[in-house]
């Protein structure tokens, strides 16, 4: 049975435990490399078609190195595909040479090219983001972000959020289960009140969840205060950045530079 209550494709965490070189790599390096890969993918000249399979080879070999299975990552990366709708009008509206007609509308080559490029780039970029998320435990990601100058207060907020995500999700699921339990329905018959009424019920649940969360935060704060919390988060000193980690991280970046260089010089 699919989980009908999840708003997103999956609320399961992406992290896959493992002991590959990618898993062991310093998270700071991984964050930077992932961002560079995404920037590189997005900056690829639109019509450098040979660059796309090469970029996928690069990402796929990283996925293989991490023991994730390149094809599984490639398949997971289709999560963003529904967004293609946003670019779907391009082939019909961008001026260019007409190369065909769909549903009575002329399709331009420039428009089709841009549409394909956007889709490919999006798919490749999601794979880079997936590689980061699948090989890095979230707490590691958080301290890496702190080292990379993301404001400590923001990271602290996010780490609290992460810590209570499952707790509050369970609260929400309990509320939803309770609503389901008290909502009798006969198949193929209209059930429940009008939309405004349903929305009020859902709104009441949200309000309820807010109060539970708010009061929980007060208890958490009191408990932390009792343990000597003074507004600062004390973290272990991050391990030093080794030269080996930087060199390892440089490898995919060099691959990226080669591909982008070829794309700029030969395929644009």
Partner 1 sequence: MFLPPILAMHIPDGFLSLPIAVIGWVGLIVLVALALRQGRESGQGTLGERQIPLMGILAAFIFAAQMINFPVAGGTSGHLLGATLAAILLGPWPAALVMTSVVGVQALLFQDGGLLALGFNTINMGILAAFVGYATYGGVRRLLGESRGGQLASAAVAAWVSVMAAALATTLELALSGTTPLGIALPAMLGVHALVGLGEALITVGALAFIQQARPDLAGQPAQAATQGTTWIAVGLLIALVVVLFSPLANPNPDGLERVSLDLAAQGNFDDLDTADDPADSESLAAGQAPAYELLPDYTVPGIDNEAVSTILAGAIGTLIVAGVGYGAARLSQRRKESGRMA
- The least CB distance from residue 103 to partner 1, in Å, is 12
- The least CB distance from residue 112 to partner 1, in Å, is 12
61: part of which helix (H) or strand (E)?
Answer: helix 51-65
- The least CB distance from residue 122 to partner 1, in Å, is 3
Residue 252: closest CA among 61, 44, 10: 61
Tokens matching residue 165:
């995500």
DSSP 88-101: TTHHHHS-S-EEEE
Residue with tokens 């708010």: 214
The answer to whether 30 touches 144, Cβ cutoff 8 Å, is yes
Q: Which is nearer to partner 1, 119 or 235 (CB)?
A: 119
Q: Which is nearer to partner 1, 8 or 243 (CB)?
A: 8
- Look up residue 237 and give its DSSP letter: P
Q: Which is nearer to partner 1, 39 or 257 (CB)?
A: 39
- The least CB distance from residue 125 to partner 1, in Å, is 3
The answer to whether 176 touches 205, Cβ cutoff 8 Å, is yes
Q: Which is nearer to partner 1, 47 or 64 (CB)?
A: 47
- The least CB distance from residue 217 to partner 1, in Å, is 4
Q: Which is nearer to partner 1, 217 or 242 (CB)?
A: 217
When computed from its CA atoms, the radius of gyration of the chain, rounded to whole angstroms, is: 24
Q: How many CB atoms lie within 10 A of CB 252?
A: 22
Q: Which is nearer to partner 1, 122 or 135 (CB)?
A: 122
CA atoms within 13 A on the CB side of 95: 0
- The least CB distance from residue 69 to partner 1, in Å, is 17
- The least CB distance from residue 59 to partner 1, in Å, is 13
Q: For residues 31 and 264, what is the distance between their CA atoms, to the nearest angstrom?
A: 25
The answer to whether 175 touches 202, Cβ cutoff 8 Å, is no
Q: Which is nearer to partner 1, 233 or 247 (CB)?
A: 233
């Amino acid at each position: 049975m699919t989980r009908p209550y999840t708003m997103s494709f999956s609320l399961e965490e992406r992290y896959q435990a493992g002991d590959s070189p990618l898993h062991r790599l310093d998270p700071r390096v991984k964050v930077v490399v992932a961002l560079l890969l995404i920037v590189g993918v997005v900056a690829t000249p639109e019509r450098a078609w040979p660059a796309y399979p090469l970029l996928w080879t690069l990402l796929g070999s990283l996925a293989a190195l991490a023991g994730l299975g390149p094809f599984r990552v490639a398949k997971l990366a289709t999560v963003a595909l529904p967004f293609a709708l946003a670019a779907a009008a391009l082939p019909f509206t961008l001026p260019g040479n007409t190369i065909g007609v769909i549903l009575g509308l002329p399709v331009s080559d420039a428009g089709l090219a841009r549409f394909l490029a956007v889709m490919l780039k999006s798919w490749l970029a999601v794979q880079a983001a997936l590689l980061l998320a699948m090989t890095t435990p979230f707490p590691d990601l958080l301290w890496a972000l702190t080292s990379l100058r993301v404001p400590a207060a923001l990271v602290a907020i996010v780490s609290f959020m992460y810590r209570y995500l499952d707790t509050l999700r369970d609260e929400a699921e309990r509320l939803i289960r309770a609503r389901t339990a008290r909502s009798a329905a006969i198949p193929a018959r209209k059930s429940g009140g009008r939309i405004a009424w349903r929305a009020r019920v859902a709104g009441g649940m949200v309000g309820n969840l807010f109060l539970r969360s708010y009061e929980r935060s007060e208890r958490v704060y009191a408990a932390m205060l009792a343990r000597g919390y003074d507004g600062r988060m004390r973290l272990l000193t991050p391990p030093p950045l080794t030269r080996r980690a930087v060199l390892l991280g440089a490898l995919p970046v060099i691959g990226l530079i080669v591909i982008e260089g070829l794309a700029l010089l030969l395929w644009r």
